[in-house]
Structure 1
Amino acid sequence: MSDVRHDGKPDIQAYLERIGYDGPLDGSAETLAALQECHLHAVPYENLDILRRVPLSLEIPALFDKIVVRRRGGYCFELNALFGWLLQELGYPVVSLMARFWRDEPNPPPKRRHHVLKVGVGDNYYLCDVGVGGIVPRRPILMVEKLEHEQGDECYRLERVDYYGWMLCEWKRGEWSRLYSFTEEPQLPKDFVMATYWCENAPDSIFIKDAMVAIRTKEGRNTVSGNEFRIFTSEGVRAFTPQTEADYQTALRTYFGIEIGV
């Protein structure tokens, strides 16, 4: 199978195989949800290129090469850009938006440094996001205020907040907690260039400090924070720290399918 079409454009079928999706492509809300969930279970969130000082490209051919051909992951500006391209190629109306990430923010209000997608299905619009390393909705969120979305043992809803627009909230410890906010001003690809430059280079950017890797699994999720790997399953959490660089690379390959250097 070729990953690039004869006309040089990325191949949709290769992308679908990368995320393990072989269902209908009918433009429905059900298909949209399945595509997002498959993506979260197949493509890891990771900032390893940023740590290695490898400059990121947000151009679709470069993202396709990294994520589909070389089977790497990325962070929000990479993952949602490419996922948005896939959805558009499949006929979904897609608008890119900029968001403020509130969860664990030490100095609110936070900067606008997160890329999310507004996706149309018929007369409805959905919030789609495959670009967060922490726990976030695994399926699209219908953009209706205070409509609760139960997804497994997680629950989310959107609220309207003065100045910040839509606020995605999660039910946590018996109350609704802010996850991230966004307005509906459409963003062009070039609008994300300065935000990703800040994330890659600013001294106070969290992305340049420690490794952050995460992926959903059938049993739960796998994560890396710094050098510590955590494997979450229904039986609990197993944590370990590889003692050598070779062991670290083996663990990345085993739990995330990541091959550094490709």
Structure 2
Amino acid sequence: MNSALVDAYLLRLGAARPQRPSSEALRELHLRHLRTVPFENLSVHLGEEIVLEEKRLLDKVTGTRRGGFCYELNGAFAALLAALGYEVELLAARVYDDEGRPGIPYDHLALRVRTEEGDTWLADVGFGAHSHYPLVFAERGEQDDPGGRFRLVDAGPDAAGIRGGDDSSGAGDLDVLRDGRPQYRLETRTRVLADFAAGAWWHSTSPLSHFTRSLVCSRITEDGGRITLGGRTLTTTTADGVREKRELDADEEVLAVYRERFGIELDRVPTVRNRNLT
């Protein structure tokens, strides 16, 4: 990642180049990323190819000023952090559904980041509603964050029916909990971006994937709330949890929300490609 791309990425985030790869700078970059680069699956419904290569991911974030889902957002953020001097590792996870069932292998991509102070963090700018700041990787107690109360819990082999790692032992895996509910099972073995290609393909093509069944574009707001455009439903949530929904009828209104609230320029309104999936 060259210096010009680093500058373009930081400009997108509205952030100055950190003088050092510190924990404080990581926290600021993490929050700015969540505020400015939306979690979105528009490519799935616009017929755009999703390619897990660093250049393609950076072009999407800095060139077309788009967002993406976990593989894209955390993949691009990892490249930025590495270019700024952080030690970054890609980790695989399986996301729990509402019934506590795990998703597919390589269901999710998260980051383990080490700073110049020797601190190690779980960074994740690609999970939608999650922690606003990185979580302390070695901490097993509760970690309070504007996004909720989080815990990283050591997971024994076969807990919740999941085996982790190629050795199928599950040793070292972690469950990431938000407000007491498991969000995903995190493997601690380092992966490479290409390992997630099958997961990205499945999520963008399978009728069983929630990404093929619905449209979403979402980001944290400057006051700590959240704004989400799900199809034609605009939902704003304050930091105190007060939620307001509004239906958008005209295409021009939908496109204006993408442009003005998410910084995304589109020439047509995306729709779920196969309505039989919904």
Matched residues in 2 for 1:242 and 1:234: separation? 23
Q: 2:244 aligns with which of 212, 218, 238?
A: 238
Instruction: Say whether the 8 Å CA contact 1:157–1:170 is kept in structure 2.
Output: yes
Matched residues in 1 for 2:146 and 2:78: separation? 25
Deviates more, 1:120-129 or 1:194-203: 120-129
Match of 1:198 in 2: 202
Shift of the 71–256 alpha-carbon distance from structure 1 to 2, 3 Å rule, reads same
Instruction: Say whether the 8 Å CA contact 1:145–1:158 is kept in structure 2.
Output: yes
Gap runs ≥5 in structure 2: 158-163, 165-172, 269-278
Instruction: Say whether the 8 Å CA contact 1:145–1:160 is kept in structure 2.
Output: no
Normalised by the length of structure 2, the TM-score is: 0.84
Opposite residue 38 of structure 1, the aligned amino acid is R
CA RMSD of aligned residues (A): 2.0
**Secondary structure, counterpart of 2:30 in structure 1:** helix
Matched residues in 2 for 1:153 and 1:193: separation? 29
Instruction: Say whether the 8 Å CA contact 1:47–1:74 is kept in structure 2.
Output: yes
**Secondary structure, counterpart of 1:22 in structure 2:** coil
Instruction: Say whether the 8 Å CA contact 2:131–2:147 is kept in structure 1.
Output: no
Q: How far did residue 110 of structure 1 move?
A: 2.1
Gap runs ≥5 in structure 1: none
Instruction: Say whether the 8 Å CA contact 2:93–2:184 is kept in structure 1.
Output: yes
Q: How far did residue 233 of structure 1 move?
A: 2.4
Q: How far did residue 252 of structure 1 move?
A: 1.4
Deviates more, 1:38-47 or 1:241-250: 241-250
Matched residues in 2 for 1:85 and 1:226: separation? 30
Instruction: Say whether the 8 Å CA contact 1:221–1:232 is kept in structure 2.
Output: yes
Match of 1:249 in 2: 255
Matched residues in 2 for 1:139 and 1:170: separation? 13
Match of 1:225 in 2: 230
Q: 1:258 aligns with which of 261, 264, 277?
A: 264
Match of 2:91 in 1: 97
Q: 1:80 aligns with which of 52, 58, 74?
A: 74
Opposite residue 170 of structure 1, the aligned amino acid is R
Match of 1:149 in 2: 143
**Secondary structure, counterpart of 1:238 in structure 2:** strand
Deviation string 1:155-181 (CA, Å, 9 cap, x unpaired) is: 11110111351111112xxxx111111
Identity between Structure 1 and Structure 2 (%):
29
Matched residues in 2 for 1:25 and 1:231: separation? 35
Match of 1:128 in 2: 123
Deviates more, 1:153-162 or 1:90-99: 153-162
Match of 2:274 in 1: none
Match of 2:113 in 1: 119
**Secondary structure, counterpart of 2:228 in structure 1:** strand
**Secondary structure, counterpart of 2:189 in structure 1:** coil
Q: How far did residue 87 of structure 1 move?
A: 0.5
Matched residues in 1 for 2:71 and 2:6: separation? 20
Opposite residue 241 of structure 1, the aligned amino acid is E
Opposite residue 236 of structure 2, the aligned amino acid is I
Q: 1:42 aligns with which of 24, 36, 47?
A: 36
Aligned residues: 250
Instruction: Say whether the 8 Å CA contact 1:94–1:117 is kept in structure 2.
Output: yes
Normalised by the length of structure 1, the TM-score is: 0.89
Matched residues in 2 for 1:203 and 1:168: separation? 27
